[in-house]
Structure 1
Protein backbone atom coordinates (compact mmCIF):
# COMPACT_ATOMS: atom_id res chain seq x y z
CA UNK A 1 0.00 0.00 0.00
CA UNK A 2 1.39 3.39 -1.00
CA UNK A 3 2.03 6.08 1.66
CA UNK A 4 -0.71 8.30 0.23
CA UNK A 5 -3.18 5.41 0.43
CA UNK A 6 -2.19 4.75 4.05
CA UNK A 7 -2.82 8.40 4.92
CA UNK A 8 -6.19 8.33 3.17
CA UNK A 9 -7.11 5.17 5.09
CA UNK A 10 -6.08 6.74 8.42
CA UNK A 11 -8.09 9.86 7.63
CA UNK A 12 -11.19 7.83 6.77
CA UNK A 13 -10.79 5.71 9.92
CA UNK A 14 -10.52 8.82 12.10
CA UNK A 15 -13.57 10.41 10.48
CA UNK A 16 -15.67 7.27 10.95
CA UNK A 17 -14.51 6.91 14.57
CA UNK A 18 -15.37 10.55 15.29
CA UNK A 19 -18.75 10.05 13.60
CA UNK A 20 -19.63 7.07 15.81
CA UNK A 21 -18.35 8.81 18.94
CA UNK A 22 -20.73 11.73 18.34
CA UNK A 23 -23.73 9.44 18.71
CA UNK A 24 -22.37 7.80 21.86
CA UNK A 25 -21.70 11.22 23.37
CA UNK A 26 -25.26 12.30 22.50
CA UNK A 27 -26.63 9.27 24.35
CA UNK A 28 -24.35 10.00 27.31
CA UNK A 29 -25.75 13.52 27.43
CA UNK A 30 -29.34 12.29 27.35
CA UNK A 31 -28.75 9.62 29.98
CA UNK A 32 -27.28 12.25 32.30
CA UNK A 33 -30.42 14.34 31.88
CA UNK A 34 -32.59 11.30 32.60
CA UNK A 35 -30.62 10.55 35.78
CA UNK A 36 -31.19 14.14 36.92
CA UNK A 37 -34.94 13.71 36.41
CA UNK A 38 -34.98 10.38 38.25
CA UNK A 39 -33.12 11.72 41.28
CA UNK A 40 -35.21 14.88 41.41
CA UNK A 41 -38.45 12.93 41.39
CA UNK A 42 -37.22 10.43 43.92
CA UNK A 43 -35.96 12.93 46.50
CA UNK A 44 -38.28 15.90 45.97
CA UNK A 45 -41.54 14.27 44.90
CA UNK A 46 -41.18 10.77 46.41
CA UNK A 47 -42.24 9.31 43.07
CA UNK A 48 -40.17 8.22 40.09
CA UNK A 49 -42.09 7.84 36.81
CA UNK A 50 -39.07 6.30 35.06
CA UNK A 51 -38.76 2.56 35.65
CA UNK A 52 -35.63 2.03 33.57
CA UNK A 53 -33.79 3.14 30.43
CA UNK A 54 -31.87 1.34 27.70
CA UNK A 55 -29.66 2.87 25.02
CA UNK A 56 -27.71 1.67 22.01
CA UNK A 57 -25.69 2.94 19.05
CA UNK A 58 -26.09 0.96 15.85
CA UNK A 59 -22.99 -0.96 14.82
CA UNK A 60 -21.17 0.18 11.71
CA UNK A 61 -22.18 -3.09 10.06
CA UNK A 62 -25.87 -2.39 10.78
CA UNK A 63 -25.53 1.15 9.43
CA UNK A 64 -23.92 -0.17 6.24
CA UNK A 65 -26.77 -2.62 5.70
CA UNK A 66 -29.34 0.12 6.17
CA UNK A 67 -27.73 2.65 3.81
CA UNK A 68 -27.44 -0.14 1.24
CA UNK A 69 -31.19 -0.86 1.50
CA UNK A 70 -32.06 2.85 1.32
CA UNK A 71 -29.59 3.67 -1.44
CA UNK A 72 -27.68 6.22 0.66
CA UNK A 73 -24.05 6.77 -0.44
CA UNK A 74 -21.23 6.12 2.01
CA UNK A 75 -20.76 9.80 2.77
CA UNK A 76 -20.93 10.65 6.47
CA UNK A 77 -23.01 13.79 6.02
CA UNK A 78 -25.48 11.87 3.84
CA UNK A 79 -25.69 9.10 6.42
CA UNK A 80 -26.27 11.65 9.17
CA UNK A 81 -29.03 13.30 7.14
CA UNK A 82 -30.87 10.13 6.11
CA UNK A 83 -30.39 7.60 8.93
CA UNK A 84 -32.14 8.97 12.00
CA UNK A 85 -32.00 5.98 14.36
CA UNK A 86 -28.24 5.46 14.67
CA UNK A 87 -28.54 6.36 18.35
CA UNK A 88 -31.57 5.16 20.29
CA UNK A 89 -32.83 5.61 23.85
CA UNK A 90 -35.79 3.71 25.32
CA UNK A 91 -37.50 4.97 28.47
CA UNK A 92 -39.94 2.69 30.27
CA UNK A 93 -42.58 4.26 32.53
CA UNK A 94 -45.20 3.09 34.98
CA UNK A 95 -48.22 4.91 33.53
CA UNK A 96 -49.34 6.34 30.19
CA UNK A 97 -49.53 9.89 31.57
CA UNK A 98 -45.88 9.57 32.64
CA UNK A 99 -44.92 9.14 28.99
CA UNK A 100 -46.20 12.56 27.97
CA UNK A 101 -44.94 14.12 31.19
CA UNK A 102 -41.41 12.93 30.46
CA UNK A 103 -41.65 14.11 26.86
CA UNK A 104 -42.64 17.58 28.05
CA UNK A 105 -39.81 17.71 30.56
CA UNK A 106 -37.20 16.65 28.01
CA UNK A 107 -38.35 19.28 25.53
CA UNK A 108 -39.23 22.13 27.92
CA UNK A 109 -36.79 21.82 30.81
CA UNK A 110 -33.81 20.56 28.86
CA UNK A 111 -34.55 22.44 25.65
CA UNK A 112 -34.23 19.49 23.30
CA UNK A 113 -35.42 20.26 19.80
CA UNK A 114 -37.99 17.73 18.55
CA UNK A 115 -37.77 17.19 14.80
CA UNK A 116 -40.48 14.54 14.64
CA UNK A 117 -43.02 12.92 16.95
CA UNK A 118 -44.94 9.73 16.22
CA UNK A 119 -47.63 8.84 18.73
CA UNK A 120 -48.27 5.11 18.40
CA UNK A 121 -50.19 5.21 21.68
CA UNK A 122 -53.01 7.42 20.45
CA UNK A 123 -52.66 5.81 17.00
CA UNK A 124 -51.35 2.25 17.43
CA UNK A 125 -49.85 0.37 14.51
CA UNK A 126 -52.15 -2.24 12.91
CA UNK A 127 -50.24 -5.07 14.61
CA UNK A 128 -50.92 -3.54 18.05
CA UNK A 129 -47.57 -1.80 18.64
CA UNK A 130 -47.79 1.14 21.05
CA UNK A 131 -45.08 3.63 21.98
CA UNK A 132 -44.22 7.33 21.70
CA UNK A 133 -41.34 8.01 19.28
CA UNK A 134 -39.37 11.25 19.25
CA UNK A 135 -36.53 12.34 17.00
CA UNK A 136 -34.59 14.96 18.95
CA UNK A 137 -31.51 17.05 18.24
CA UNK A 138 -28.85 16.80 20.96
CA UNK A 139 -25.97 19.32 21.00
CA UNK A 140 -22.61 17.57 21.34
CA UNK A 141 -19.41 19.49 21.98
CA UNK A 142 -16.40 17.95 20.25
CA UNK A 143 -12.82 19.23 20.40
CA UNK A 144 -13.16 20.88 16.99
CA UNK A 145 -16.66 22.33 17.42
CA UNK A 146 -20.31 21.68 18.26
CA UNK A 147 -22.34 19.03 16.46
CA UNK A 148 -26.09 18.56 16.41
CA UNK A 149 -26.84 14.84 16.68
CA UNK A 150 -30.18 13.12 16.06
CA UNK A 151 -31.34 10.57 18.64
CA UNK A 152 -34.50 8.46 18.50
CA UNK A 153 -36.27 8.28 21.86
CA UNK A 154 -38.95 5.67 22.52
CA UNK A 155 -41.11 6.12 25.61
CA UNK A 156 -43.52 3.37 26.65
CA UNK A 157 -45.11 1.68 29.65
CA UNK A 158 -43.96 -1.62 31.15
CA UNK A 159 -46.88 -3.42 29.50
CA UNK A 160 -46.08 -1.89 26.09
CA UNK A 161 -42.43 -2.84 26.47
CA UNK A 162 -43.28 -6.42 27.44
CA UNK A 163 -45.52 -6.78 24.39
CA UNK A 164 -42.92 -5.27 22.02
CA UNK A 165 -40.21 -7.58 23.39
CA UNK A 166 -42.42 -10.64 22.93
CA UNK A 167 -43.41 -9.57 19.41
CA UNK A 168 -39.74 -9.16 18.49
CA UNK A 169 -38.90 -12.66 19.79
CA UNK A 170 -41.75 -14.19 17.82
CA UNK A 171 -40.77 -12.48 14.55
CA UNK A 172 -37.16 -13.55 15.09
CA UNK A 173 -38.21 -17.16 15.78
CA UNK A 174 -40.32 -17.34 12.61
CA UNK A 175 -37.89 -15.29 10.48
CA UNK A 176 -40.60 -12.65 9.82
CA UNK A 177 -43.11 -15.28 8.57
CA UNK A 178 -45.43 -15.45 11.57
CA UNK A 179 -48.58 -17.62 11.28
CA UNK A 180 -51.81 -15.65 10.99
CA UNK A 181 -53.17 -17.21 14.19
CA UNK A 182 -50.23 -15.88 16.21
CA UNK A 183 -50.56 -12.45 14.62
CA UNK A 184 -54.16 -12.36 15.79
CA UNK A 185 -53.14 -13.45 19.29
CA UNK A 186 -50.48 -10.76 19.34
CA UNK A 187 -53.08 -8.14 18.48
CA UNK A 188 -55.37 -9.45 21.22
CA UNK A 189 -52.47 -9.40 23.70
CA UNK A 190 -51.78 -5.77 22.75
CA UNK A 191 -55.41 -4.88 23.44
CA UNK A 192 -55.21 -6.66 26.80
CA UNK A 193 -52.02 -4.79 27.70
CA UNK A 194 -53.71 -1.51 26.80
CA UNK A 195 -56.71 -2.30 28.98
CA UNK A 196 -54.32 -3.05 31.84
CA UNK A 197 -52.53 0.27 31.31
CA UNK A 198 -55.82 2.17 31.35
CA UNK A 199 -57.01 0.32 34.45
CA UNK A 200 -53.78 0.93 36.34
CA UNK A 201 -53.89 4.59 35.28
CA UNK A 202 -57.35 4.91 36.80
CA UNK A 203 -56.24 3.21 40.02
CA UNK A 204 -53.22 5.48 40.18
CA UNK A 205 -55.45 8.56 39.99
CA UNK A 206 -57.81 7.21 42.66
CA UNK A 207 -54.94 6.38 44.99
CA UNK A 208 -53.50 9.88 44.50
CA UNK A 209 -56.81 11.41 45.54
CA UNK A 210 -57.03 9.17 48.62
CA UNK A 211 -53.44 10.01 49.54
CA UNK A 212 -54.31 13.69 49.62
CA UNK A 213 -57.32 13.16 51.87
CA UNK A 214 -56.61 10.15 54.11
CA UNK A 215 -52.84 9.80 54.51
CA UNK A 216 -50.23 7.25 53.48
CA UNK A 217 -51.33 4.32 55.68
CA UNK A 218 -54.75 4.10 54.05
CA UNK A 219 -53.17 4.37 50.62
CA UNK A 220 -50.77 1.50 51.30
CA UNK A 221 -53.61 -0.79 52.41
CA UNK A 222 -55.75 0.15 49.40
CA UNK A 223 -52.84 -0.31 46.99
CA UNK A 224 -52.17 -3.82 48.27
CA UNK A 225 -55.85 -4.68 47.96
CA UNK A 226 -56.21 -3.30 44.44
CA UNK A 227 -52.95 -4.76 43.12
CA UNK A 228 -53.87 -8.15 44.53
CA UNK A 229 -57.14 -8.11 42.62
CA UNK A 230 -55.61 -7.32 39.21
CA UNK A 231 -54.82 -9.96 36.65
CA UNK A 232 -53.25 -9.76 33.21
CA UNK A 233 -52.88 -12.91 31.18
CA UNK A 234 -51.33 -13.39 27.75
CA UNK A 235 -52.53 -16.27 25.55
CA UNK A 236 -50.67 -19.44 26.49
CA UNK A 237 -49.14 -19.82 23.02
CA UNK A 238 -47.50 -16.41 23.28
CA UNK A 239 -46.21 -17.07 26.78
CA UNK A 240 -44.63 -20.34 25.63
CA UNK A 241 -42.88 -18.57 22.75
CA UNK A 242 -41.66 -15.91 25.15
CA UNK A 243 -40.10 -18.59 27.37
CA UNK A 244 -38.38 -20.20 24.37
CA UNK A 245 -36.89 -16.85 23.38
CA UNK A 246 -35.15 -16.43 26.75
Structure 2
Protein backbone atom coordinates (compact mmCIF):
# COMPACT_ATOMS: atom_id res chain seq x y z
CA UNK A 1 0.00 0.00 0.00
CA UNK A 2 1.17 3.57 -0.59
CA UNK A 3 3.08 4.92 2.40
CA UNK A 4 1.78 8.43 1.72
CA UNK A 5 -1.85 8.26 0.57
CA UNK A 6 -2.16 12.04 0.25
CA UNK A 7 0.77 12.12 -2.17
CA UNK A 8 -0.57 9.12 -4.10
CA UNK A 9 -4.05 10.61 -4.48
CA UNK A 10 -2.87 14.11 -5.42
CA UNK A 11 -2.93 13.48 -9.22
CA UNK A 12 -6.43 11.99 -8.89
CA UNK A 13 -7.63 15.09 -7.05
CA UNK A 14 -6.09 17.22 -9.78
CA UNK A 15 -7.85 15.13 -12.44
CA UNK A 16 -11.24 15.49 -10.73
CA UNK A 17 -10.81 19.25 -10.39
CA UNK A 18 -9.78 19.67 -14.02
CA UNK A 19 -12.55 17.42 -15.36
CA UNK A 20 -15.20 19.24 -13.34
CA UNK A 21 -14.07 22.53 -14.86
CA UNK A 22 -14.10 21.10 -18.39
CA UNK A 23 -17.49 19.39 -18.07
CA UNK A 24 -19.07 22.43 -16.45
CA UNK A 25 -17.52 24.50 -19.23
CA UNK A 26 -19.42 22.38 -21.76
CA UNK A 27 -22.65 23.14 -19.92
CA UNK A 28 -21.94 26.86 -19.91
CA UNK A 29 -21.23 26.86 -23.65
CA UNK A 30 -24.71 25.50 -24.32
CA UNK A 31 -26.20 28.09 -21.99
CA UNK A 32 -24.33 30.93 -23.67
CA UNK A 33 -25.62 29.75 -27.06
CA UNK A 34 -29.13 29.81 -25.55
CA UNK A 35 -29.71 26.16 -26.48
CA UNK A 36 -30.78 23.22 -24.35
CA UNK A 37 -27.83 21.91 -22.33
CA UNK A 38 -27.73 18.13 -21.91
CA UNK A 39 -25.73 18.62 -18.71
CA UNK A 40 -27.81 19.65 -15.71
CA UNK A 41 -24.90 19.65 -13.25
CA UNK A 42 -21.59 17.91 -12.52
CA UNK A 43 -20.14 16.53 -9.30
CA UNK A 44 -16.89 14.74 -8.56
CA UNK A 45 -14.91 13.07 -5.82
CA UNK A 46 -11.78 11.05 -5.08
CA UNK A 47 -12.51 7.67 -3.51
CA UNK A 48 -11.74 7.65 0.24
CA UNK A 49 -8.75 5.58 1.34
CA UNK A 50 -10.84 3.13 3.41
CA UNK A 51 -13.10 2.50 0.40
CA UNK A 52 -10.06 1.88 -1.81
CA UNK A 53 -8.59 -0.62 0.66
CA UNK A 54 -11.94 -2.38 1.18
CA UNK A 55 -12.50 -2.75 -2.58
CA UNK A 56 -8.97 -4.08 -3.10
CA UNK A 57 -9.52 -6.75 -0.44
CA UNK A 58 -13.00 -7.63 -1.70
CA UNK A 59 -11.84 -8.02 -5.31
CA UNK A 60 -8.43 -9.40 -4.37
CA UNK A 61 -6.59 -6.68 -6.28
CA UNK A 62 -2.84 -6.61 -5.73
CA UNK A 63 -1.06 -3.34 -5.00
CA UNK A 64 0.82 -3.34 -8.30
CA UNK A 65 -2.49 -3.56 -10.21
CA UNK A 66 -4.35 -1.02 -8.08
CA UNK A 67 -4.23 1.88 -10.53
CA UNK A 68 -5.12 -0.39 -13.44
CA UNK A 69 -7.96 -2.37 -11.85
CA UNK A 70 -9.50 0.33 -9.65
CA UNK A 71 -11.09 2.47 -12.34
CA UNK A 72 -13.09 4.73 -10.04
CA UNK A 73 -10.48 6.25 -7.72
CA UNK A 74 -11.32 9.47 -9.56
CA UNK A 75 -15.07 9.66 -10.10
CA UNK A 76 -17.28 12.17 -11.91
CA UNK A 77 -21.05 12.21 -12.13
CA UNK A 78 -23.04 14.06 -14.77
CA UNK A 79 -26.75 14.66 -14.18
CA UNK A 80 -29.12 15.06 -17.11
CA UNK A 81 -32.77 16.00 -17.43
CA UNK A 82 -33.66 13.47 -20.11
CA UNK A 83 -32.49 10.00 -21.14
CA UNK A 84 -31.74 11.42 -24.60
CA UNK A 85 -29.36 13.90 -22.97
CA UNK A 86 -27.29 11.02 -21.59
CA UNK A 87 -26.43 9.73 -25.04
CA UNK A 88 -25.72 13.25 -26.27
CA UNK A 89 -23.21 13.68 -23.44
CA UNK A 90 -21.65 10.31 -24.31
CA UNK A 91 -21.13 11.58 -27.86
CA UNK A 92 -19.62 14.84 -26.61
CA UNK A 93 -17.10 12.96 -24.45
CA UNK A 94 -16.16 10.66 -27.33
CA UNK A 95 -15.36 13.67 -29.53
CA UNK A 96 -12.98 15.25 -27.03
CA UNK A 97 -9.25 14.98 -27.73
CA UNK A 98 -8.09 15.68 -24.16
CA UNK A 99 -9.34 12.33 -22.84
CA UNK A 100 -9.65 8.80 -24.23
CA UNK A 101 -12.61 6.51 -23.64
CA UNK A 102 -11.28 3.06 -22.75
CA UNK A 103 -14.44 1.32 -21.53
CA UNK A 104 -18.21 1.83 -21.54
CA UNK A 105 -21.07 0.13 -19.73
CA UNK A 106 -24.63 0.99 -20.72
CA UNK A 107 -26.81 0.06 -17.76
CA UNK A 108 -29.76 1.91 -19.30
CA UNK A 109 -30.18 -0.41 -22.26
CA UNK A 110 -28.79 -3.33 -20.23
CA UNK A 111 -30.47 -2.79 -16.86
CA UNK A 112 -28.88 -4.48 -13.85
CA UNK A 113 -31.04 -7.15 -12.13
CA UNK A 114 -31.45 -4.79 -9.17
CA UNK A 115 -33.07 -2.17 -11.42
CA UNK A 116 -29.99 0.08 -11.47
CA UNK A 117 -29.71 2.33 -14.52
CA UNK A 118 -26.82 4.59 -15.47
CA UNK A 119 -24.23 5.02 -18.23
CA UNK A 120 -20.63 4.44 -17.14
CA UNK A 121 -17.58 5.56 -19.05
CA UNK A 122 -13.98 4.90 -18.04
CA UNK A 123 -11.56 7.40 -19.52
CA UNK A 124 -7.80 7.72 -19.64
CA UNK A 125 -6.92 11.26 -18.63
CA UNK A 126 -3.44 12.86 -18.69
CA UNK A 127 -2.47 14.95 -15.67
CA UNK A 128 0.51 17.26 -15.85
CA UNK A 129 2.67 17.02 -12.74
CA UNK A 130 6.05 18.45 -11.78
CA UNK A 131 7.51 15.04 -12.67
CA UNK A 132 5.88 14.96 -16.10
CA UNK A 133 2.66 13.60 -17.52
CA UNK A 134 0.76 10.93 -15.61
CA UNK A 135 -2.08 9.10 -17.35
CA UNK A 136 -4.71 7.79 -15.00
CA UNK A 137 -8.17 6.25 -15.16
CA UNK A 138 -11.33 8.08 -14.14
CA UNK A 139 -14.93 6.91 -14.17
CA UNK A 140 -17.76 9.13 -15.41
CA UNK A 141 -21.32 8.15 -14.49
CA UNK A 142 -24.06 9.77 -16.55
CA UNK A 143 -27.66 9.49 -15.40
CA UNK A 144 -30.95 11.32 -15.08
CA UNK A 145 -32.07 12.92 -11.84
CA UNK A 146 -34.61 10.15 -11.22
CA UNK A 147 -31.98 7.45 -11.84
CA UNK A 148 -29.71 9.21 -9.38
CA UNK A 149 -32.45 9.42 -6.74
CA UNK A 150 -33.00 5.66 -6.96
CA UNK A 151 -29.28 4.86 -6.96
CA UNK A 152 -28.68 7.07 -3.91
CA UNK A 153 -31.42 5.32 -1.93
CA UNK A 154 -30.22 1.87 -3.02
CA UNK A 155 -26.65 2.77 -2.04
CA UNK A 156 -27.78 3.89 1.42
CA UNK A 157 -29.76 0.68 1.98
CA UNK A 158 -26.75 -1.32 0.84
CA UNK A 159 -24.82 -0.08 3.87
CA UNK A 160 -27.55 -1.42 6.14
CA UNK A 161 -28.02 -4.79 4.45
CA UNK A 162 -24.52 -5.25 2.96
CA UNK A 163 -26.05 -6.14 -0.40
CA UNK A 164 -28.25 -8.90 1.04
CA UNK A 165 -31.63 -7.19 0.79
CA UNK A 166 -34.72 -8.90 2.22
CA UNK A 167 -37.00 -10.15 -0.56
CA UNK A 168 -39.65 -7.52 0.17
CA UNK A 169 -37.13 -4.65 0.03
CA UNK A 170 -35.59 -6.09 -3.14
CA UNK A 171 -38.95 -6.24 -4.90
CA UNK A 172 -39.90 -2.75 -3.78
CA UNK A 173 -36.58 -1.40 -5.06
CA UNK A 174 -37.16 -3.05 -8.45
CA UNK A 175 -40.66 -1.56 -8.68
CA UNK A 176 -39.30 1.83 -7.66
CA UNK A 177 -36.62 1.60 -10.36
CA UNK A 178 -39.27 0.88 -12.99
CA UNK A 179 -41.42 3.74 -11.70
CA UNK A 180 -38.44 6.10 -11.91
CA UNK A 181 -37.75 5.02 -15.48
CA UNK A 182 -41.42 5.47 -16.39
CA UNK A 183 -41.08 9.03 -15.14
CA UNK A 184 -38.07 9.52 -17.42
CA UNK A 185 -40.05 8.13 -20.36
CA UNK A 186 -42.99 10.42 -19.68
CA UNK A 187 -40.69 13.44 -19.47
CA UNK A 188 -39.05 12.40 -22.75
CA UNK A 189 -42.47 12.23 -24.38
CA UNK A 190 -43.04 15.93 -23.66
CA UNK A 191 -39.38 16.92 -23.89
CA UNK A 192 -39.90 19.56 -26.59
CA UNK A 193 -42.64 21.25 -24.56
CA UNK A 194 -40.45 21.27 -21.44
CA UNK A 195 -37.44 22.68 -23.29
CA UNK A 196 -39.53 25.41 -24.89
CA UNK A 197 -40.93 26.38 -21.49
CA UNK A 198 -37.45 26.45 -19.98
CA UNK A 199 -36.17 28.65 -22.79
CA UNK A 200 -39.03 31.10 -22.22
CA UNK A 201 -38.38 31.07 -18.48
CA UNK A 202 -34.66 31.65 -18.94
CA UNK A 203 -35.29 34.48 -21.38
CA UNK A 204 -37.63 36.23 -18.97
CA UNK A 205 -35.86 35.50 -15.69
CA UNK A 206 -32.17 34.82 -16.20
CA UNK A 207 -28.89 35.66 -17.81
CA UNK A 208 -28.72 39.10 -16.20
CA UNK A 209 -25.29 38.43 -14.81
CA UNK A 210 -24.56 42.02 -14.01
CA UNK A 211 -27.30 42.34 -11.38
CA UNK A 212 -26.77 38.87 -9.91
CA UNK A 213 -29.83 37.16 -11.37
CA UNK A 214 -29.38 33.40 -11.70
CA UNK A 215 -30.85 31.46 -14.58
CA UNK A 216 -33.76 29.24 -13.63
CA UNK A 217 -32.05 25.86 -14.04
CA UNK A 218 -28.53 26.95 -13.18
CA UNK A 219 -26.95 25.43 -10.07
CA UNK A 220 -23.92 27.03 -8.49
CA UNK A 221 -20.65 25.11 -8.18
CA UNK A 222 -21.03 25.20 -4.39
CA UNK A 223 -24.49 23.60 -4.63
CA UNK A 224 -23.06 20.93 -6.93
CA UNK A 225 -20.37 20.09 -4.39
CA UNK A 226 -22.99 19.77 -1.64
CA UNK A 227 -24.94 17.30 -3.76
CA UNK A 228 -21.85 15.13 -4.30
CA UNK A 229 -21.26 14.54 -0.58
Under a length normalisation based on structure 1, what TM-score does the superposition of the two structures give?
0.74
| Residue equivalent to 2:155 | 168
Higher Rg of the two aligned structures:
1
Question: Matches of 1:170 and 1:65 in 2, distance apart?
Answer: 18
Query: Which runs of 4 or more aligned residues in structure 1 lie more than 4 Å from their structure 2 counterparts after TM superposition?
Result: none
Looking at structure 2, the residues matched to 134 and 204 of structure 1 have their Cα atoms a distance apart, in angstroms, of: 25
- Give unpaired runs (5+ residues) of structure 2: 205-229
Unpaired runs of 5+ residues, structure 1, are 1-11, 221-246
Alignment partner, residue 94 of structure 1? 81
Distance (Å, rounded) in 1 between the aligned partners of 2:148 and 2:128: 32
Alignment root-mean-square deviation, CA = 2.3
Alpha-carbon shift at residue 104 of structure 1 (Å):
1.3
Q: TM-score, normalised by structure 2?
A: 0.79
Q: Say yes or no: does 1:36 pair with 2:25.
A: yes
Distance in 2 separating the partners of 1:21 and 1:207: 41
Matches within 5 A, 1:104-115: 104-115=91-102
Q: Which has the higher contact order (CA 8 A, sep 6+)?
A: 2
Shift of residue 73 of structure 1? 2.9
Distance 1:68 1:156 in 2: 29
How many residues of Structure 1 are paired with residues of Structure 2 in the alignment? 200
The correspondence of residues 187-202 of structure 1 with structure 2, limited to 5 A, is: 187-202=174-189
Distance 1:17 1:175, change over 3 A: closer
Deviation at 1:111, TM superposition (A): 4.1
